[in-house]
């Protein structure tokens, strides 16, 4: 992931009830998380988020194994699938013909690339 500028530190967090009212979409990476998020959304009165499986945007492969116990090639495969899925998702949301992303970008502001709000 270093070659893509993606840190491998733990940056995940739990979905909160507020997320269902704040976000337009909540994208899950596996069926287990999808079921859990759907279950949690049923407890929220003002759920506006559309809950979807991120991998459903990949026409090549719907399910991918967690690369955690794998090797660099496994992480690269998940990265490439993630890029394909995110581009397809953004094209759906933004509409066809508009660029989804110029390049992949780290999940946190990096300050190093032109897409980053911290870039100087």
Q: Could you give the residue numbers annotated as active site? A: 66
The whole-angstrom distance between residue 70's C-alpha and the CA centroid of its chain comes to: 20
The whole-angstrom distance between residue 101's C-alpha and the CA centroid of its chain comes to: 13
Secondary structure class of 37 (helix, strand, coil)? helix
User: Which residues on adjacent β-strands are paired with residue 28?
Assistant: 53
Do 58 and 35 touch, CB atoms closer than 8 A? no
Secondary structure class of 81 (helix, strand, coil)? helix
């Amino acid at each position: 992931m270093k070659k893509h500028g993606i840190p491998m530190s733990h940056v995940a967090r739990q979905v909160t009830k507020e997320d269902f009212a704040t976000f337009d979409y909540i994208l899950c990476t596996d069926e287990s998380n999808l079921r859990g998020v759907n279950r949690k959304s049923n407890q929220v009165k003002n759920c506006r988020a559309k809950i979807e499986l991120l991998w459903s945007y990949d026409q090549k492969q719907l399910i991918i194994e967690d690369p955690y116990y794998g090797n660099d090639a496994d992480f690269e495969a998940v990265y490439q699938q993630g890029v394909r899925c995110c581009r397809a998702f953004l094209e759906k949301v933004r509409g066809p013909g508009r660029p989804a992303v110029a390049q992949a970008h780290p999940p946190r502001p990096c300050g190093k690339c032109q897409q980053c709000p911290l870039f100087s």
